[in-house]
Amino acid sequence: MFTVVLFCNSQLWCKVKGVETEGEFNFCHHEKHNKPISMSESQQFDQLFQELSDVLTECTGQEAEIGDAMAWFKKVLSFNVPHGKKNRGKSVVASYKALVSNPSEEDLKLAGIIGWCVELLQAFFLVTDDIMDGSLTRRGQPCWYKMDGVGLLAINDAIFLEMSMYRIFRQYLKDKPYYVNIMELFHEATNQTLVGQCLDMITAPPQGSVDFSQFNMERYSAIVKWKTAFYSFYLPIASAMYMNGITDETSHSTARRILLKMGHFFQVQDDYLDCYGDPEVIGKIGTDIEDNKCSWLVVQALSRVNDDQREVLKNCYGCQDSGKVKRVKDLYRELNLSDEYRKFEERSYKEIMDIIESCESLPKDMFIHYVNSVYKRNK
């Protein structure tokens, strides 16, 4: 199941094969002294999930009356949390190892536990996002709300997923000096993502009429920054920084600058793969065109179309009709947006590497691994 590939200069990568999931960055691991990666590290991370699931759903004594609810929530956790590549969560562990020379087993476990809280937050966002977008599939399966017997109960399930993070923090971190910082960081990341989701939905309502007046790069960049970049990139690394006692604003500002740029890069890739990716590889059926999304592709198209082509977009974008969706994709090909994307990818990669090179307060290798893990990805 696991393959390990060794690159020059202490770059060590671990990839998990055979997992169908939505586009995510590949987990990478760095050892300062070129030690071989333990083949059990991903398994150790996975094993933590069962412990946390048991903690979150245990009911004894007087709590026996809520046994049915806990049994249901155990299914919610099992279906929605552990089946992605889990790279956001694993990034907490990888970053902590990059920052600490000889971490203890206890601290590595706590980094893994915080990592699973990132995965719980991700699951909360995905369950609610799928409902709002009317999505059909996620990670190669029907969306949770589409499963038999679930429906809008998924809203309550999503809130349970979010609240689970804070129960875990109290259980495992309440005596740690970074407890408050981690709590505030997760609250902040949640709020930032909700703001981004709001921007996304009011810019392009899935069931609303097509209105391209706000489909521009400024609005697109704001949506990406707030909806994706903070929680997907800054949150895992900032968690590891707080664990290591790095609390100064200069270091966190440096990390944000790099990671928000990386998050923008990642989301443009996601938008491209939504249209051009193979559903069997990326693990979902792309619906950005049908959902009237303010995606990078349509923003680029609108900046290049003539009057006739703009009319095609106006008549076909945001429609569920497969013929109209195909017409939009044909227009993207006419405008050579694949070539524009390749140019963007190369330009963005260079810009991010330049920013990393100027970083002095944090390990450069830690950031280089992350950007290399998303560069040229196809899922």
Q: Report the catalytic residues.
A: 85, 124, 129, 133, 138, 200, 227, 266, 270-271
Q: Are 165 and 117 in contact (CB under 8 A)?
A: yes
Q: Which residue has the tokens 């499963």?
A: 147
How many Å apart are CA 222 and CA 245, to the nearest integer?
30
Sign of CA dihedral 217, 267, 291, 315: positive
Phi-psi region at 283: left, alpha or beta (left = phi > 0; alpha = psi -120 to 50): left
**Chain position carrying tokens 């915080």:** 114
* CA dist., res. 331 & res. 123, Å (int): 34
Under 8 Å between Cβ of 205 and 292:
yes
DSSP string for residues in 230-284: IIIIIHHHHHHHHHTT---HHHHHHHHHHHHHHHHHHHHHHHHHHHHS-HHHHSS
State the distance between the two ends of the chain, measured CA to CA, in whole angstroms.
18
The answer to whether 31 and 10 are in contact (CB under 8 A) is: yes
Q: What's the CA gap between 314 and 74, in Å, rounded?
A: 45
Residue 251 to residue 249: CA distance in whole angstroms: 6
Q: Which helix (H) or strand (E) holds 1?
A: none
User: How many Cα atoms are found within 13 Å in the side-chain-facing hemisphere of 174?
Assistant: 6
